[in-house]
Amino acid sequence: MSDLRRVLRVARRIRIDRLANIRLKVMLPILLLFLPGLAWGFSDPNIVLPGGHQPDTAMEVLFYASLGVVFGATMCAVLMAFDGVSKDRASGMLEVQLAQPMPRAHQAAALIIGHAQAILLPVYALLLITVVVVNHRMDAWPSLTEMLVYAVSTGLIVLWYTLFALLASTTAREQGTAVAFGVGVWFFFTFLWALITSMVAYASGVSVGEANDPAWVALEGMLDLLSPNGVYHHLLETQLPTVDRGVAAWQSWLAALLWTVLPWWALHRRMERLVP
Protein backbone atom coordinates (compact mmCIF):
# COMPACT_ATOMS: atom_id res chain seq x y z
CA MET A 1 0.00 0.00 0.00
CA SER A 2 1.51 3.36 -0.97
CA ASP A 3 2.00 6.03 1.69
CA LEU A 4 -0.53 8.38 0.10
CA ARG A 5 -3.13 5.65 -0.15
CA ARG A 6 -2.53 4.73 3.46
CA VAL A 7 -2.94 8.34 4.59
CA LEU A 8 -6.15 8.71 2.58
CA ARG A 9 -7.57 5.47 3.96
CA VAL A 10 -6.93 6.48 7.54
CA ALA A 11 -8.32 9.96 6.77
CA ARG A 12 -11.43 8.33 5.35
CA ARG A 13 -11.99 6.42 8.60
CA ILE A 14 -11.63 9.65 10.58
CA ARG A 15 -13.99 11.45 8.22
CA ILE A 16 -16.66 8.76 8.53
CA ASP A 17 -16.34 8.76 12.31
CA ARG A 18 -16.60 12.55 12.50
CA LEU A 19 -19.50 12.78 10.05
CA ALA A 20 -21.48 10.48 12.34
CA ASN A 21 -20.69 12.70 15.32
CA ILE A 22 -23.63 14.25 17.12
CA ARG A 23 -21.83 17.62 17.12
CA LEU A 24 -22.17 17.87 13.37
CA LYS A 25 -25.90 17.25 13.59
CA VAL A 26 -26.12 20.12 16.09
CA MET A 27 -24.08 22.39 13.84
CA LEU A 28 -25.96 21.60 10.63
CA PRO A 29 -29.03 23.79 11.28
CA ILE A 30 -26.71 26.62 12.33
CA LEU A 31 -24.72 26.26 9.12
CA LEU A 32 -27.98 26.13 7.15
CA LEU A 33 -29.03 29.45 8.65
CA PHE A 34 -25.59 31.01 8.22
CA LEU A 35 -24.81 29.94 4.64
CA PRO A 36 -27.95 29.74 2.44
CA GLY A 37 -29.84 31.85 5.00
CA LEU A 38 -27.47 34.82 4.74
CA ALA A 39 -27.32 34.47 0.94
CA TRP A 40 -31.11 34.59 0.85
CA GLY A 41 -31.08 37.83 2.84
CA PHE A 42 -28.23 39.52 0.96
CA SER A 43 -29.75 38.65 -2.44
CA ASP A 44 -32.96 40.48 -1.61
CA PRO A 45 -33.40 43.04 -4.45
CA ASN A 46 -34.54 45.66 -1.90
CA ILE A 47 -31.69 45.24 0.58
CA VAL A 48 -29.68 48.34 1.47
CA LEU A 49 -26.51 47.66 3.47
CA PRO A 50 -24.93 50.17 5.87
CA GLY A 51 -23.35 52.93 3.79
CA GLY A 52 -26.13 52.68 1.23
CA HIS A 53 -24.45 49.85 -0.67
CA GLN A 54 -26.53 47.34 -2.62
CA PRO A 55 -24.92 44.07 -3.79
CA ASP A 56 -25.61 43.74 -7.49
CA THR A 57 -23.59 40.70 -8.60
CA ALA A 58 -23.75 37.09 -7.50
CA MET A 59 -20.13 37.23 -6.28
CA GLU A 60 -20.88 40.27 -4.14
CA VAL A 61 -23.72 38.40 -2.47
CA LEU A 62 -21.46 35.42 -1.95
CA PHE A 63 -18.86 37.75 -0.48
CA TYR A 64 -21.31 39.12 2.08
CA ALA A 65 -22.63 35.63 2.75
CA SER A 66 -19.06 34.56 3.54
CA LEU A 67 -19.76 36.01 6.99
CA GLY A 68 -21.59 32.74 7.54
CA VAL A 69 -18.39 30.85 6.80
CA VAL A 70 -16.40 33.07 9.14
CA PHE A 71 -18.91 32.72 11.97
CA GLY A 72 -20.36 29.24 11.39
CA ALA A 73 -18.00 27.00 9.44
CA THR A 74 -14.92 28.01 11.42
CA MET A 75 -16.69 27.40 14.73
CA CYS A 76 -17.82 24.06 13.34
CA ALA A 77 -14.17 23.27 12.52
CA VAL A 78 -13.12 24.07 16.09
CA LEU A 79 -15.92 22.05 17.64
CA MET A 80 -15.27 19.05 15.40
CA ALA A 81 -11.50 18.93 15.78
CA PHE A 82 -10.77 20.05 19.35
CA ASP A 83 -10.74 16.46 20.61
CA GLY A 84 -9.12 14.98 17.52
CA VAL A 85 -6.10 13.91 19.57
CA SER A 86 -6.92 14.64 23.22
CA LYS A 87 -9.86 12.22 23.32
CA ASP A 88 -7.77 9.32 22.05
CA ARG A 89 -4.99 10.34 24.37
CA ALA A 90 -7.30 10.26 27.39
CA SER A 91 -8.70 6.86 26.44
CA GLY A 92 -5.34 5.27 25.67
CA MET A 93 -6.26 4.69 22.01
CA LEU A 94 -3.61 7.18 20.95
CA GLU A 95 -0.87 4.91 22.30
CA VAL A 96 -2.20 2.05 20.19
CA GLN A 97 -2.23 4.29 17.12
CA LEU A 98 1.27 5.64 17.75
CA ALA A 99 2.53 2.06 18.11
CA GLN A 100 1.54 1.28 14.51
CA PRO A 101 4.38 1.50 11.98
CA MET A 102 2.95 4.54 10.22
CA PRO A 103 5.17 7.63 10.22
CA ARG A 104 3.83 10.24 12.59
CA ALA A 105 3.92 12.86 9.85
CA HIS A 106 1.51 10.66 7.91
CA GLN A 107 -0.67 10.19 10.98
CA ALA A 108 -0.78 13.98 11.35
CA ALA A 109 -1.70 14.37 7.67
CA ALA A 110 -4.49 11.79 8.00
CA LEU A 111 -5.84 13.60 11.06
CA ILE A 112 -5.87 16.95 9.28
CA ILE A 113 -7.38 15.65 6.04
CA GLY A 114 -9.97 13.50 7.81
CA HIS A 115 -11.20 16.30 10.05
CA ALA A 116 -11.16 18.96 7.34
CA GLN A 117 -13.08 16.68 4.97
CA ALA A 118 -15.71 15.97 7.62
CA ILE A 119 -16.37 19.70 8.01
CA LEU A 120 -16.01 20.64 4.35
CA LEU A 121 -18.45 18.05 2.98
CA PRO A 122 -21.53 19.66 4.60
CA VAL A 123 -20.11 23.16 4.09
CA TYR A 124 -19.61 22.58 0.35
CA ALA A 125 -23.06 21.02 0.03
CA LEU A 126 -24.55 24.12 1.68
CA LEU A 127 -22.44 26.41 -0.52
CA LEU A 128 -23.93 24.75 -3.59
CA ILE A 129 -27.39 25.41 -2.17
CA THR A 130 -26.26 28.99 -1.50
CA VAL A 131 -25.34 29.47 -5.16
CA VAL A 132 -28.70 28.07 -6.23
CA VAL A 133 -30.46 30.41 -3.78
CA VAL A 134 -28.55 33.40 -5.21
CA ASN A 135 -29.49 32.38 -8.74
CA HIS A 136 -33.11 31.93 -7.72
CA ARG A 137 -33.22 35.41 -6.18
CA MET A 138 -31.03 37.36 -8.65
CA ASP A 139 -31.22 35.26 -11.79
CA ALA A 140 -27.41 35.30 -12.01
CA TRP A 141 -24.69 32.69 -11.57
CA PRO A 142 -21.18 33.42 -10.32
CA SER A 143 -18.51 32.70 -12.92
CA LEU A 144 -16.50 29.48 -12.79
CA THR A 145 -13.40 31.34 -11.54
CA GLU A 146 -15.42 33.06 -8.84
CA MET A 147 -16.88 29.71 -7.76
CA LEU A 148 -13.43 28.14 -7.75
CA VAL A 149 -11.88 30.94 -5.68
CA TYR A 150 -14.84 30.86 -3.30
CA ALA A 151 -14.55 27.11 -2.84
CA VAL A 152 -10.77 27.11 -2.40
CA SER A 153 -10.84 30.06 0.02
CA THR A 154 -13.57 28.45 2.10
CA GLY A 155 -11.66 25.17 2.11
CA LEU A 156 -8.55 26.99 3.28
CA ILE A 157 -10.19 28.88 6.16
CA VAL A 158 -11.82 25.70 7.40
CA LEU A 159 -8.45 23.94 7.13
CA TRP A 160 -6.74 26.70 9.14
CA TYR A 161 -9.21 26.48 12.02
CA THR A 162 -9.01 22.69 11.90
CA LEU A 163 -5.25 22.99 12.25
CA PHE A 164 -5.56 25.39 15.19
CA ALA A 165 -7.99 23.06 16.96
CA LEU A 166 -5.84 19.98 16.33
CA LEU A 167 -2.78 21.83 17.55
CA ALA A 168 -4.62 22.66 20.76
CA SER A 169 -5.73 19.05 20.98
CA THR A 170 -2.16 17.74 20.80
CA THR A 171 -0.95 20.25 23.36
CA ALA A 172 -3.71 20.04 25.94
CA ARG A 173 -3.69 17.14 28.38
CA GLU A 174 -7.45 17.33 28.79
CA GLN A 175 -10.26 18.31 26.49
CA GLY A 176 -11.47 21.38 28.38
CA THR A 177 -8.19 23.15 27.67
CA ALA A 178 -8.28 22.06 24.03
CA VAL A 179 -11.77 23.45 23.45
CA ALA A 180 -10.93 26.63 25.37
CA PHE A 181 -7.87 27.18 23.20
CA GLY A 182 -9.78 26.50 19.97
CA VAL A 183 -12.70 28.74 20.86
CA GLY A 184 -10.28 31.36 22.17
CA VAL A 185 -8.43 31.52 18.85
CA TRP A 186 -11.73 31.67 16.99
CA PHE A 187 -13.00 34.46 19.26
CA PHE A 188 -9.73 36.38 18.92
CA PHE A 189 -9.69 36.41 15.12
CA THR A 190 -13.46 36.72 14.68
CA PHE A 191 -14.29 39.42 17.24
CA LEU A 192 -11.16 40.86 18.82
CA TRP A 193 -9.23 41.43 15.61
CA ALA A 194 -11.22 44.59 14.91
CA LEU A 195 -10.08 45.89 18.30
CA ILE A 196 -6.44 45.05 17.51
CA THR A 197 -6.77 46.83 14.16
CA SER A 198 -8.28 49.90 15.85
CA MET A 199 -5.54 49.99 18.48
CA VAL A 200 -2.78 49.76 15.86
CA ALA A 201 -4.50 52.48 13.80
CA TYR A 202 -4.83 54.72 16.86
CA ALA A 203 -1.18 54.18 17.75
CA SER A 204 -0.21 54.96 14.16
CA GLY A 205 -2.25 58.16 14.06
CA VAL A 206 -4.72 56.84 11.53
CA SER A 207 -8.40 57.71 11.87
CA VAL A 208 -10.21 54.60 13.02
CA GLY A 209 -13.05 53.28 10.83
CA GLU A 210 -12.92 56.01 8.19
CA ALA A 211 -13.86 54.01 5.11
CA ASN A 212 -12.93 56.92 2.84
CA ASP A 213 -9.50 57.43 4.42
CA PRO A 214 -6.91 55.62 2.23
CA ALA A 215 -4.51 55.35 5.20
CA TRP A 216 -7.12 53.45 7.26
CA VAL A 217 -8.06 51.22 4.33
CA ALA A 218 -4.40 50.37 3.63
CA LEU A 219 -3.61 49.72 7.30
CA GLU A 220 -6.66 47.52 7.75
CA GLY A 221 -5.80 45.65 4.56
CA MET A 222 -2.25 44.95 5.68
CA LEU A 223 -3.24 43.93 9.22
CA ASP A 224 -5.85 41.58 7.79
CA LEU A 225 -3.03 39.53 6.29
CA LEU A 226 -2.11 38.60 9.87
CA SER A 227 -5.54 37.14 10.54
CA PRO A 228 -6.95 34.00 8.88
CA ASN A 229 -10.35 35.65 8.54
CA GLY A 230 -8.73 38.71 6.96
CA VAL A 231 -6.78 36.57 4.48
CA TYR A 232 -9.99 34.74 3.62
CA HIS A 233 -11.68 38.03 2.76
CA HIS A 234 -8.65 39.19 0.81
CA LEU A 235 -8.85 36.01 -1.29
CA LEU A 236 -12.54 36.62 -1.98
CA GLU A 237 -11.84 40.28 -2.80
CA THR A 238 -9.55 39.17 -5.64
CA GLN A 239 -12.83 38.49 -7.44
CA LEU A 240 -14.35 41.89 -6.59
CA PRO A 241 -12.87 44.45 -9.02
CA THR A 242 -14.46 47.39 -7.16
CA VAL A 243 -12.59 46.62 -3.94
CA ASP A 244 -9.00 47.79 -3.57
CA ARG A 245 -7.42 47.74 -0.10
CA GLY A 246 -3.85 48.03 -1.28
CA VAL A 247 -3.09 44.30 -1.08
CA ALA A 248 -2.16 42.54 -4.33
CA ALA A 249 -3.62 39.13 -5.15
CA TRP A 250 -0.20 37.45 -4.90
CA GLN A 251 0.21 38.85 -1.39
CA SER A 252 -3.12 37.36 -0.36
CA TRP A 253 -2.24 33.96 -1.83
CA LEU A 254 1.20 34.07 -0.24
CA ALA A 255 -0.37 34.84 3.15
CA ALA A 256 -2.80 31.95 2.57
CA LEU A 257 0.14 29.66 1.85
CA LEU A 258 1.89 30.71 5.05
CA TRP A 259 -1.29 30.29 7.10
CA THR A 260 -1.48 26.74 5.71
CA VAL A 261 2.15 25.68 5.90
CA LEU A 262 3.09 27.08 9.32
CA PRO A 263 0.33 25.50 11.43
CA TRP A 264 0.67 22.26 9.42
CA TRP A 265 4.38 22.21 10.17
CA ALA A 266 3.71 23.01 13.85
CA LEU A 267 1.22 20.16 14.09
CA HIS A 268 3.63 17.80 12.38
CA ARG A 269 6.30 18.80 14.90
CA ARG A 270 3.89 18.29 17.79
CA MET A 271 2.94 14.85 16.51
CA GLU A 272 6.58 13.84 16.19
CA ARG A 273 7.13 14.70 19.85
CA LEU A 274 3.79 13.51 21.14
CA VAL A 275 3.92 11.33 24.24
CA PRO A 276 0.82 9.23 24.89
Partner 1 sequence: MPMADPLLVFTDVEHRHRLPAPKPWKPWATRPGAGVHCVNLSLYSGCVLGLIGPNGAGKTTLLRMMAGVLPLQGGTVTGHIKTSTSGEVVDLRTWAGHMPEQVRWQGRSTVTETLHQLSEMRGQSSQRLDQLLTLVGLHDRADEPLDNLSQGMRQRLSIAAALLGSPRVLLLDEPFNGLDPVAAEAFAGLVRRLAEKGVSVVISSHMVTQLEGLIDRIALMHRGQLLDEGPLEEVERRLDLEGRYQLRGKGDLRSTKVLEELGNDVLSWEQDDETWTVILRGDHHNALKIGLDSGLEVMSWAPLRPNLVEWLCAATGMSFDDISLEVSSSAMLPLQTMEVNEDE
> Least distance (Å) from partner 1 to the CB of residue 22?
10
Q: Are 137 and 35 in contact (CB under 8 A)?
A: no
Among 46, 100, 212, 242, binds partner 1 (CB under 8 A): 100
Give CA separation, 182 vs 74, 143, 239, in Å.
10, 35, 30
Q: Does 107 bind partner 1 (CB under 8 A)?
A: yes
Q: Does 17 bind partner 1 (CB under 8 A)?
A: yes
Nearest to 165 by CA among 85, 270, 227: 85
Q: Does 174 bind partner 1 (CB under 8 A)?
A: no
What is the number of other CB atoms lying within 10 angstroms of the CB of residue 130? 26
Stretch that binds partner 1, among 13-21, 25-33, 182-190, 210-218 (CB under 8 A): 13-21
Stretch that binds partner 1, among 94-102, 137-145, 195-203, 236-244 (CB under 8 A): 94-102
Q: Does 20 bind partner 1 (CB under 8 A)?
A: yes
Nearest to 227 by CA among 264, 266, 259, 249: 259
d(CA 143, CA 196): 35
The 8-class DSSP code of residue 240 comes to -
Nearer to partner 1, 249 or 262 (CB): 262
d(CA 276, CA 265): 20
Question: For the purposes of burial, counting CB atoms within 10 Å of the CB of 135, is it exposed (0-12), middle (13-18) or buried (19 or more)?
Answer: middle
Nearer to partner 1, 111 or 147 (CB): 111
> Least distance (Å) from partner 1 to the CB of residue 75?
23
Stretch that binds partner 1, among 8-16, 69-77, 158-166, 247-255 (CB under 8 A): 8-16
Nearer to partner 1, 7 or 219 (CB): 7
Q: Does 13 bind partner 1 (CB under 8 A)?
A: yes
**Whole-angstrom distance between the N-terminal and C-terminal Cα of the chain?**
27
Stretch that binds partner 1, among 64-72, 91-99, 129-137, 186-194 (CB under 8 A): 91-99
Nearest to 143 by CA among 42, 134, 124: 134
- Strand boundaries in 8-82, DSSP class E: none
Nearer to partner 1, 98 or 217 (CB): 98
Among 30, 41, 97, 222, binds partner 1 (CB under 8 A): 97
Stretch that binds partner 1, among 90-98, 118-126, 191-199, 204-212 (CB under 8 A): 90-98
- Strand boundaries in the chain, DSSP class E: none
Q: Does 275 bind partner 1 (CB under 8 A)?
A: yes
What is the number of other CB atoms lying within 10 angstroms of the CB of residue 273? 8
Q: Are 199 and 193 in contact (CB under 8 A)?
A: no
Nearer to partner 1, 104 or 137 (CB): 104
Q: Does 99 bind partner 1 (CB under 8 A)?
A: yes
Q: Does 266 bind partner 1 (CB under 8 A)?
A: no
Binding residues for partner 1, per CB under 8 A? 1, 6, 9-10, 13, 17, 20, 91-93, 95-102, 107, 275-276
